Amino acid sequence: MIIKSAKYKDMEACPQLNSLVQGAFSLVPSLSFHACEAREFIVENQKTISSVEVFDGEQRLGKMGWIRRYTRSGYENCYAVESPRINKQRGDKHVKTTTNPKTAIKLAVDHFIRDTDSARAARIFGLVKSKYHDIVWQYNDRYSQKLKPLAEDALSYFINTVEGTPSDIDPAMVKIIQSPEFVETRTNYRIAKSVQKHVAKEVGDIVYVNREGRLTRVDIQAKTLTRLESSYDLPKNYQEKYAILKVMDAKIPIESIGFKVTIDLDGSDTDVCYLVPGEVIVTH
C-alpha cells in the first residue's frame, strides 16, 4: 500500500504507520501514500519507514507519520498529520499530533481534501505570478544599475535646458546609451514589462507536465485545468508558443510569447510555461 522509491525499497514501514495508512485508505480510497522518511528510533539499529507523503492523483495533500516529539516530561512517540489546511497559532503551524490512532485517522481524513480544479488553477497562477514578479525586479535592477552613472549628467542637462542655458550632451553619455550592452539591458527590461502586463491582467494560459506525466493546461481567466494528450490539443494560438518556451532556458521572457519558470508544485520542482494570449506567431 505504501509506494517506495529506490531509497526505501528494502525497508519496512513501522506498524504504527501501517495502521494509519490502512485506516485513512479505508475511508478515502483515492489516496496514495509515498514513503518519504525513515528513522532508527522505532526499531533499534534498524531504519524503518516512519512517514509518507499523501497524494490524491497528482495533487500532494500533505504528510503523515509516526514521529518523536518533545514534551515537558521528555520525548514521546506520536502520530503526526501535516496539511496546509491545518492552521495553528502555536508550534508547527500546519502539523497536528496525537497519541490516539483513531484521532490520527480522523485528522488525516478531515484535512487530506483535494482542491477543486478552480482553486488549484488559482494557486498555480499565484505561484507563477510571484516568481515572475521577482524576474521583472531583477531586470529592473540591472537597468537601474546601468542608468545610475548617467543620472547626474542627465539631471544637469535638464536643469540647464529649463533655465535657458542648454549645454551640449556629454559625448561619453551618448556613447554609453548607444552601446550594445546598454541597448540590450534596456530592451530586456522593456520585454519583461510588456509580458508582465498580461500577467497583471490575469489572462493567458499556463502549461506544464504534471507528476503523472500528463500535459496540463491552466486557463487563467476561466480558472480551469485540462489534462491533454499532447500539445496539439492546445488552442492553435498556443501550440507554437509552447513549443518555443519548453526548449528555452527559464526566466527569459519573450515578447508576445511568454516565459518559463520553475515552481514548487506538489512537493517537487516543476517547469511551467506561461503563454501570452494573442494570435498565432507568423514566421516567414
In the chain, what are the domain boundaries? 2-111, 117-275
Pairing mode of beta strands 31-43, 2-3: parallel
pTM given for the model: 0.81
User: Side by side, which strands form the sheet with 258-265?
Assistant: 224-228, 215-219, 205-209, 268-275, 258-265
Q: Which of 84, 81, 86 is CA-nearest to residue 23? A: 81
Quick one: CA dihedral 166, 167, 171, 173, positive or negative?
A: negative
- pLDDT tens for the chain, 284 residues: list them: 899 999 999 999 999 999 999 999 999 999 999 999 998 865 566 889 999 999 999 899 999 999 988 878 888 899 999 999 998 877 778 999 999 999 999 999 999 999 999 999 999 999 999 999 999 999 999 988 887 777 666 666 666 766 777 777 777 777 777 888 888 998 999 999 999 999 999 999 999 999 889 999 999 999 999 999 999 999 999 999 999 999 999 999 999 999 999 999 988 899 999 999 988 654 44
